[in-house]
Amino acid sequence: MAIIRPFKALRPPAELASQVASRPYDVLNSREAKQEAAGNHYSFLRITKSEIDLPEGIDIHSQPVYDKAKANLELFIQNGTLFNEAKPCIYIYQQVMNGRSQTGLLCVSSVEDYFNDVIKKHEYTRPEKEKDRIDHMLAIRAQTGNVFLAYRDVMEINALISGWKAKNKPVYDFVATDGVQHTVWVIDRDDVINSLVRLFETKVPNTYIADGHHRAASAAKVSKELSGSEDAKYFLTTIFPASQLSILDYNRVVKDLNDLTKEEFIGALQEDFMITYSPEPVKPVTMHEFGMYLDGDWYILTARNGTFPDDPVAVLDVSILQKNVLDKILDIEDPRTDSRIDFVGGIRGLDELERRVNSGEMAAAFSLFPVTIEQLFAIADSGSVMPPKSTWFEPKLRDGLLTHLI
């Protein structure tokens, strides 16, 4: 069963929350982070992307970058940009995007649960990405990256959250520059905290990593390096009930057609797909239907029966596309390492797919039907992993609102 705990969050005063809160470190490159933080001395990007305060061209994985993150965090604490909560608390974190709301519990989760597979995974991690966050955590002695977890709804937990929200004022409530509203409540009553901890221990057999596999893996490895630290036995998480979550599509663009002409490529596709011209951009409305943008035109690709076996991973549209198009026709065997493919989150829309192809940068684009949360749970429960870049969750959790010190 799932182990969660309250913690003394490091957080900003209410009047600075909107300026401190930043997008996650891994959705911005250094140039974008510098632009986003320009003129804002309170931006938490100065801790998660501290290279923005150093000379351009510096190796972002070098020790001076981690040292600068540590110095900036210490400065934020000294000047009152961040303060430490007086007692261990659990927090309610609500986000509203385009009229849709999701509300989770922000707490710390057990590293042992990660090792024992109580916290389920569905992706492989890359050692170089883990090392970056390990070095960052060890340098600043804090977990700044929030791991996005999901769980199957428990009525009693939902009721406790709703009841607290109804009776208490939030400490933060602001709309970020991307239009997403972020609202946070502090649960500081021991009886309510203990009830939530007990409910997870008795009613939630598993939680599932939705977003943040590298952050979780890094925190787990840091716990081994800091085996004497009680704080390091837990890592920063926000846990959402499955019923409130929505997964967006994660689309693909490819640089070339593997020396095939347009006609040869379409001919090769017909072995596994029925192909229909579309006068409009194609956003698939059902599983096993794909959009393809090629040479200024959109097409609907429908996977033929027999293209996919009855297997929780192989039946995914990302798997069908990988097996029958990217690998079979285009010789893109490993999308993790092949430079001929790139991935476009559904939040960017179909216009971004058209732009990448029309610019000449890419030769073709494919739009996919999103993975469902139940598919994610089924794959994680089976011990399998999804192909890379299978899920895109929005809205993203903001960094800097609540940080876990080690």
Query: CA–CA separation, 281 vs 299, rounded Å?
Result: 8
**Structure pTM?**
0.87
Q: Per the domain annotation, does 379 fall within a domain?
A: no
Q: Does the pLDDT of residue 307 top 80, yes or no?
A: no
User: In terms of residue numbers, what domain contains 30?
Assistant: 4-247+394-405
Looking at residue 310, its pLDDT comes to 74
Cα separation, 406 vs 235, whole angstroms: 9
How high is the pLDDT of residue 387? Answer: 82
pLDDT, position 244: 92
Residue 182 lies in a domain: yes
**Alpha carbon separation from 19 to 124, 171, 176, 215, 324 (Å, rounded):** 34, 15, 9, 23, 46
Task: Kindly state whether residues 44 and 159 are assigned to the same domain.
Answer: yes
Do 332 and 234 fall into the same domain? no
Residue 308 has pLDDT above 90, yes or no: no
Same domain? 334 vs 279: yes
Backbone angles phi, psi at 306, to 5 degrees: 95, -10
275 & 222 share domain: no
Total number of domains constituting the chain? 2
Classify residue 381: in a domain, yes or no: no
Instruction: Please name the residues in contact with 310: beta carbons below 8 A apart, sequence gap of 6 or more.
Output: none
- Within a domain: 389: no
pLDDT at 390: 86
Give yes or no: residues 232 and 279 share one domain.
no
Residue 98 inside a domain? The answer is yes
Structure tokens of 323?
A: 């097996």
Cβ neighbours of 302 (radius 10 Å): 16
- Pair (243, 256) in one structural domain: no
Report yes or no on 42 lying in a domain.
yes
Looking at the structure, do residues 9 and 98 belong to the same domain, yes or no?
Answer: yes
Report the alpha-carbon angle 26-231-228, nearest 5.
115
Do 46 and 152 lie in a common domain? yes
Contacts of 341 (CB under 8 A, 6+ apart): 252, 253, 254, 255, 326, 332, 335
User: What phi and psi, each to the nearest 5 degrees, are found at residue 359?
Assistant: -70, -15
Q: pLDDT of 37-47, one tens digit each?
A: 999 999 999 99
Distances (CA, A) of 206 to 103, 109, 162, 201, 248: 18, 12, 22, 10, 23
Q: Are residues 314 and 254 in the same domain?
A: yes
Residue 35, helix vs strand vs coil: helix
Instruction: Report the alpha-carbon distance of residue 212 to residue 40 in Å, rounded.
Output: 26
Handedness of CA 169, 170, 175, 181 (dihedral sign): negative
pLDDT at 55 over 90: yes
Answer yes or no: do 231 and 255 share one domain.
no
- Flag whether 265 is in a domain: yes
Q: Is residue 77 part of a domain?
A: yes
For 234-251, write each residue's pLDDT tens digit: 999 999 999 999 888 899
Residues 87 and 150 occupy one common structural domain: yes
Which among 394, 393, 293, 302 has a CA at the least distance from the CA of 352? 293
